[in-house]
Amino acid sequence: MVFLASTYGALVGLLGQCAPKAGEGGGGSPLSGLWMIALIFVIFYFLLIRPQQKKQKQHQNMLESIKKGDRVVTSGGMYGTVIGVKDNVVVLKIADEVKVEFAKSAISSIVSKE
């Protein structure tokens, strides 16, 4: 949170430098506005978009590596042991004689591997 606040402060400072001062005309280059927009897009890419894509790729790799015997947690918070894996369905054993089918995308993490 502190990092975002300091980044916001730096952006406000940069924007303040590009704005015309009181008493001056807006005689700056019209490209300076484009540079600022491009800079904001680059910052958004590295702070928001790229980390989210990386996290999504890691989650997809984790879903592909699920196999029988893994202990997993669903997005609803239910723990279970994988007893079967189909295309997009995972069968979990959550108690003795209780088997439940979940969508593979509902698995949030692997707790332990067998």
Residue where a domain stops, chosen among 23, 46, 63: 63
Residues of the domain holding 24:
2-63
Please give the tally of structural domains in the chain: 2
Question: In CATH, what number is assigned to the domain containing residue 98?
Answer: 2.30.30
- Pairing status of strand 89-95 against strand 98-103: antiparallel
Q: What is the pTM of this model?
A: 0.65
For the record, the structure tokens of 80 come out as 């279970």
Residue where a domain stops, chosen among 43, 63, 83: 63
Residue where a domain stops, chosen among 24, 43, 63: 63
Structure confidence by residue, pLDDT tens digits, 7-53: 666 655 655 555 555 555 555 677 888 899 999 999 999 999 999 99
Judge if 56 and 72 occupy the same domain. no
Judge if 58 and 71 occupy the same domain. no
Q: What's the helix, strand, coil split of the chain in %, to 5?
A: 45, 25, 25
Judge if 11 and 41 occupy the same domain. yes
Judge if 16 and 53 occupy the same domain. yes
